[in-house]
Chain A
């Protein structure tokens, strides 16, 4: 008995020692800041004087500010634009290429390239692609007889421009995940269906889609979280304009905190964003029980 408890002690010692750097990081740089955000929401603080408790006043201010609603509306607009389009394209490509194809690894490398270089520099390249008159895109449209819009200076098209760029950046990554998911579906399911005389369409709806659903679910949840946090695309490409049409919630947080030093109000918006993401993810988990199937 004594030997066992000594062994347990030793296991505990090494266990806690090995996780200690990450646990300290978790406490200091995640959990403590989250708790502090919840406190800051109820204070007035400009960063120079000490924080003053003001109750719900920050909420009042934020919920009466037009910029908050612009930011919320645009963020939702981007979510509804980017998530379905990117999912559809990457799923479609994965379905078409889930077979032996010569040189597929070269194609994969090309598709993933935008994701790796998803830096400010690539946004700058798109800024040039979307440029009016001499930009690549409008020249291309001109060549096929379409007069391109002023991409970055018309509200509607500025949003479309950001959706195009974001889809372009993300589709290769999600394509690879979908493809990995498709490869995980056991061959014998299709063989059995073949024997039972099920056609390609039936196989797709009765085998592929249901068995791919955990992957689809994972992709939609991660992409949603990513798009809710959209920042640098708008910040660099359009600076939130024209007339706040591409202004996002994270840009709003950035402006409140680091341009106007309204820390309490910035904390309110960051927590609102967090709660929205939580609710959306929670709803997805609930809905997922109806359409996501796990193989045991």
Chain B
């Protein structure tokens, strides 16, 4: 008994040490963003700020179109999330619960595309979107993300596979069509998987840097990550300002994450261990 207790004590020490390493950069970011510049450059650094300033935060919004970027990022992430949840859940339903010709082979094709890195499709997509006159609009960031999400189809299909067919049979006997069974019976049961995929999609698209970097040119169309990268380009060592910009970008995501935290752990347990 005492042996396990002591063991647990050391494990807690270790866990606290690791948790400190993961949290500390965020703490450092926030404290730097509220320190006056002489305090920022002080050696050794003040771990707990002794004086406060909020001078950097208004600058974040004045020097760059940050408010606009917020709107852009939110718009893109919301549209993609809603769209992808719909398209991937109906496809998942078809693969899991409808016996149609060729479903096995088509599903295998979906799984195979998980292997294709985005870089191979990047240049042709750029060409395609410039033919559509989509460059410097948000469409290249929204439409493909809604139309193809092999990972999402896979994840929800795995979850739907676990719903007993008996649940559907009685509805079928009552004459319910597939759209009704999908919406009224299967989807409510898939809530955890749908919420998890929704969160992953929202945050993934919010954080996306490569796509916006390539497809957007005008500053008023920029997303938050692009604006952050512009800050670094212009105000290279203005640490207070850079950290204030990072704080503005990260804190909402941290709040969203803390509110929805259990779904991530669940989702990873759901999708990770499929040998």
Contacts and interface: CB of A to CB of B under 8 A. Distances in A.
A138 to B, nearest CB: 10
A36 B262 CA distance: 42
A119 B272 contact: no
Given A33-B120, A136-B45, A128 B178 contact: no
B148 A30 contact: yes
Nearest to B23: A110
B144 A29 contact: yes
A253 B45 contact: no
B148 A270 contact: no
Contacts of B8: 101
B120 A34 contact: yes
A17 B154 CA distance: 18
Interface residues of A, number: 96
B54 interface: no
Interface residues of B, number: 96
Contacts of B40: 134
A122 B123 contact: no
A128 B239 contact: yes
Contact of B265 (A108, A113, A181, A236): A108
Interface of B: 8, 11-12, 14-15, 18-19, 21-23, 25-26, 28-29, 32, 40-41, 43-45, 87-88, 90-91, 93-95, 98-101, 103, 106, 109-110, 113, 115-128, 144, 146-150, 153, 177-179, 182, 203, 206-207, 209-210, 214, 224-226, 228-229, 231-232, 237, 239, 242-243, 245-246, 249-250, 253-254, 257-258, 261-262, 264-265, 268-269, 272-275
Interface of A: 8, 11-12, 14-16, 18-19, 21-26, 28-34, 36-37, 40, 47, 93, 96-97, 101-102, 104-105, 107-114, 116-122, 124-129, 131, 133-134, 136, 139, 142-143, 168, 172-173, 176-177, 180-181, 183-184, 214-215, 217-218, 225, 228-229, 231-232, 236, 250, 253-254, 257-258, 263, 266-267, 270-271, 273-274, 277-278, 281, 292, 294
